Structure 1
Amino acid sequence: MLTFTEIQYMLTKNQLTFLSIFTLFGFSGIGYFILSFSDMHSYAAIFEAESPYVDIVYGLVGGSVLAALGLAVLQIPALKKVGEFYQQIFTKIHLTWPDILFYSFCAGVGEEILFRGAIQPFLGIWVTALLFVLLHGYISLKDLPKSIYGFFLVFVAAAFGYAFEWMSIYTAMAAHFVYDVIMFSYLMRNANQQADQNSEGE
């Protein structure tokens, strides 16, 4: 899922790259730390799967469906400003396809290990999904449209949770990865189109 909030207006690409690397390794480390206190759940158990490659395929398909729903939600007139907000961030940072794939991979792996692998066993699917969205800053009493989109993302995060519960962490990772790739690419394309229009207007 996308992790931009208002504070990221100030981020450079280098800072965003650093945060992505921290998400991949730091979140994984935090997940390991949490599970080190548990006698019922182990870090190694997160990665157990009978058919990881099949699970990944299911995750890619499911994440694509969720992303299509997310794009449809952003087309709702009352929520268009939400998409425009994130689009402005892309206009400033100038992301490329390698950037998108890297950021999406780091988020898909690191966040799923922490939230679905380490936190969900203790808090459950829905509480973890709500916590996930709250920590990303998508729900705000001052911004109703973004909060509405945030509640949609709670269902997306819960879907990742069920993917982990019913299949494996690889399903959740793949779904999260492809969801972010599609959303990133959509916003990047719109940002590039807006930049081209502004150039033509000058």
Structure 2
Amino acid sequence: MGRAAFAYGLGIILALVTIFWLKKPLVFYGATRGEEFFLGKNPRESILFGLAAGGALIVTGELFMRFTHWGKAVVRMLRAVVGLLHPMDALLLAFLSSFGEELIFRGVLLPYLGLYGSSFVFGLLHLVPRKKMWVWSVWALGAGLGLGWLAVRTGGLLAPTLAHFGVNFLGLYFLGRRKI
């Protein structure tokens, strides 16, 4: 957990420096101040969209994990890598990973590569080079499209970060506790 937390923390710092140094991400989202970049045009709407999208991703992910042999293979692989996490460790790792990935993919890459390009890179970086795992990468590509759409629709990173956090936290928390 320590190495992953360190890596995501470093990624967050580098993404923040890149975002404010390049300026294009702020202009892309129409942000005149830093908090607008994170909260979006309407923070209440961002929260609602983020929770709704997070719920949809959680349900589709759960159906995939429970009812397909690919999903069960993903659970076994992740369990071997991550293991059983204390709830606070799952919370911290979910926050760092969701915030870090949203800063990188929706904050930095989306303004330059567009929705499809940034989503494709998101799917590629979730690629597991095993025959049974290809479906996870396709699911990640779809999730990336949805998270990117949320960022564009709400004008900030709060909605996709909330959705991503929900998926990661519940996934990490239940990973070691789930029957497969």
Normalised-by-shorter TM-score class: 0.7 to 0.9
Per-residue CA shift, 1:88-119, capped at 9, x if unaligned?
A: 2233xx42111111111112222212211221
Give yes or no for contact 2:70–2:133 (8 Å, CA) kept in 1. Answer: no
Judged with a 3 Å threshold, the aligned counterparts in structure 2 of structure 1 residues 38 and 58 are, in CA distance, closer, same or farther, namely closer
Counterpart residue identity of residue 147, structure 2: F
Alpha-carbon deviation of 1:39? Answer: 9.8
Consecutive unaligned residues of structure 1, counting only runs of 5 or more, are 1-12, 195-202
Higher Cα Rg: structure 1 or 2?
Answer: 1
Residue 84 of structure 1 pairs with residue 72 of structure 2: no
Q: How far has the Cα of 1:156 moved from its partner?
A: 0.5
Which structure 2 segments of 5+ residues have no match?
none
Match of 2:159 among 168, 171, 181: 171
Q: Which residue of 1 aligns with 2:147?
A: 160
The two structures, once aligned, show a CA RMSD in angstroms of 2.5
Shift in CA distance, 48/174, structure 1 to aligned 2, threshold 3 Å: closer
State whether residues 139 and 151 of structure 1, in contact with CA within 8 Å, keep that contact through their aligned partners in structure 2.
no
Give the 5 Å matches for 1:13-92. 13-33=1-21, 35-36=22-23, 41=28, 44=34, 46-47=37-38, 49-75=40-66, 76-91=68-83
- Deviating beyond 2 angstroms after TM superposition, the runs of 4 or more aligned structure 1 residues are 23-33, 35-51
CA contact (8 A) 2:19 2:25 kept: no
With over 3 angstroms needed to count, the CA separation of the structure-2 counterparts of 1:39 and 1:49, relative to structure 1, is closer
Aligned-residue sequence identity (percent) comes to 20
- TM-score, normalised to structure 2, is 0.83
CA gap of 1:85–1:55, structure 2 versus 1, over 3 A, is same
The alignment covers a number of residue pairs equal to: 174
